[in-house]
């Protein structure tokens, strides 16, 4: 048997060790260039001037038991299980770094808690208190439930399917997606029992319906119109490029206070910062647009913002997830 000299031994040992550890990429993007791949979006943060700064999945939704009053059954609609979005991309000839989306997963609902100022502290009706007591098995007096139950609003948003072509660019760890971005929202209305400190019970929410034109009319003192029972729908829309190279930073002291939910205590700035595709395919992309089209019923805009029309809206999105071969 021929003896292996030390130099060759080290060379082959290095090859074997590298094979055991897997490919040592400087970036997964380098391996995916020219190949079809999947973009999985696991976490999203959004900011709309005047409205809200929030993330998906939203940690602000209390873990508890939620009942849809229309069916009397438990519902999981207020909790998002990632991924938020999924897209499949294929390269376009002749440039191997440019791609188009070939398919996407069905649109997911993205819930987040809202607390608009001016929404009245409506007392829970007896039916709601009775439903909460039933969920808790009669373990708590009605007085404790009534004292700790109040209105609960959850915006249910989603990204509308993009009507045009979704384009992407992937090269050297840099990743960018250009798409028509439309975020549409409806508001779920209900009541939430929050157990006081020391009371061994879970939060219980009873979802009684949706925010309607008639309810908004009553909030601004207007006479309800013929569409009083229609559910209020509003959205932001902009064509934007989300990129690992982009960032969106705004000091909260210079931004209008959001009406859907206040800035978190201690937050000094909104910081959306892109990051390159790493060795595991993980990435963060950021995009934003100014003077965005905000489409909402005038009465809702008047209730939320004090004016029926907004013209200075900025819309920013940060998405984090992973890219992997299709």
Higher pLDDT among residues 131 and 12, named by residue: 131
Enumerate residues 6+ apart whose C-beta is below 8 A from 87. 38, 39, 41, 101, 103, 104, 105, 166, 177
Residue 9 has pLDDT above 90, yes or no: no
Q: Is residue 135 part of a domain?
A: yes
Band (14; pLDDT cuts 50, 70, 90)? very low
Structural contact between residues 203 and 154, judged by C-beta atoms closer than 8 angstroms: no
Per-residue pLDDT tens over the stretch 266-318: 999 999 999 999 999 999 999 999 999 899 999 999 999 988 888 899 999 99
The DSSP string of 226-290 is TTTTSBP-EEEEEEEEEETT-EEEEEGGGSPPPSSSPPPTT--EEEEE-B---TTSEEEEEEEES
Domain that holds residue 87: 26-325
Q: Is residue 239 part of a domain?
A: yes
For residue 324, what is the enclosing H or E element? strand 315-325
Q: Is residue 16 part of a domain?
A: no
Cβ-count burial 89-99 (b if 16+ within 10 Å, e if not): bebeeeeebeb
In three-state secondary structure terms, 127 is: helix
Higher pLDDT among residues 96 and 9, named by residue: 96
Beta bridge partners of 48: 52, 315
Q: Is residue 20 part of a domain?
A: no
Please state whether the predicted TM-score (pTM) of the whole model is above 0.95.
Answer: no
Least confidently predicted of 138-142, 178-182, 236-240, 289-293: 138-142
Cβ-count burial 136-156 (b if 16+ within 10 Å, e if not): beeebeeebbbebbebbbbbb
Least confidently predicted of 25-34, 45-54, 181-190, 201-210: 25-34
Rg (alpha carbons) of the chain, rounded to whole number: 25
The DSSP string of 211-240 is -BHHHHHHHTTPPP-TTTTSBP-EEEEEEE
What's residue 158's pLDDT? 96
Cα torsion at 237, 223, 156, 165 (round to 10°)? -20
Structural contact between residues 114 and 155, judged by C-beta atoms closer than 8 angstroms: yes
Per-residue pLDDT tens over the stretch 145-165: 999 999 999 999 999 998 889
Q: What is the mean pLDDT of residues 41-53?
A: 97
Q: What is the mean pLDDT of residues 67-82?
A: 95
Q: Is residue 73 part of a domain?
A: yes
* Cα gap 98→179, rounded to integer Å: 14
Higher pLDDT among residues 28 and 170, named by residue: 170
Nearest Cα to Cα of residue 195 among 132, 278, 238, 247: 132
Residue 4 has pLDDT above 70, yes or no: no
Least confidently predicted of 16-25, 184-193, 276-285: 16-25
Domain count, the chain: 1
Percent of the chain with pLDDT over 90: 76
Q: What is the mean pLDDT of residues 71-87?
A: 95
Per-residue pLDDT tens over the stretch 104-122: 999 999 999 999 988 888 8
Q: Is residue 104 part of a domain?
A: yes
Q: Is residue 9 part of a domain?
A: no
Q: Is residue 64 part of a domain?
A: yes
Q: What is the mean pLDDT of residues 179-189?
A: 96
């Amino acid at each position: 048997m021929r003896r292996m000299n030390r130099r060759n031994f080290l060379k082959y040992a290095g090859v074997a060790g590298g094979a055991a550890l897997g490919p040592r990429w400087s970036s997964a993007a380098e391996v995916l260039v020219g190949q079809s791949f999947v973009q999985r979006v696991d976490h999203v943060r959004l900011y709309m001037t005047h409205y809200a700064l929030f993330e998906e999945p939203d940690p602000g939704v209390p873990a508890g038991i939620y009942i849809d009053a229309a069916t009397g059954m438990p519902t999981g609609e207020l909790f998002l299980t990632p991924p938020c979005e999924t897209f499949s991309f294929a390269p376009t000839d002749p440039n191997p770094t440019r791609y188009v989306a070939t398919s996407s997963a069905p649109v997911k609902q993205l819930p987040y808690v809202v607390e608009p100022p001016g929404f009245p502290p409506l007392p829970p009706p007896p039916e709601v208190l009775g439903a909460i007591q039933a969920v808790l098995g009669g373990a708590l007096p009605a007085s404790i439930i009534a004292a700790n139950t109040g209105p609960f609003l959850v915006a249910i948003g989603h990204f509308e399917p993009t009507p045009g072509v979704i384009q992407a660019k992937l090269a050297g760890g840099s990743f960018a997606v250009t798409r028509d971005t439309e975020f549409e929202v409806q508001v779920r209305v209900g009541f939430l029992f929050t157990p006081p400190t020391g009371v061994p019970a879970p939060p219980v929410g009873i979802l009684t319906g949706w925010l309607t034109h008639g309810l908004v009319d009553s909030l601004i003192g207007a006479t309800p119109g013929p569409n009083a029972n229609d559910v209020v729908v509003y959205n932001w829309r902009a064509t934007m490029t989300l990129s690992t190279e982009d960032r969106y930073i705004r000091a909260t002291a210079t931004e209008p206070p959001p009406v859907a939910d206040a800035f978190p205590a201690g937050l000094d700035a909104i910081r959306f910062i892109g990051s390159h595709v790493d060795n595991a395919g993980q990435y963060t992309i950021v995009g934003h647009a100014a003077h965005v089209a905000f489409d909402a019923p005038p009465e809702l805009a008047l209730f939320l913002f004090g004016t029926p029309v907004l013209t200075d809206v900025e819309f920013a999105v940060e998405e984090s997830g992973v890219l992997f071969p299709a």
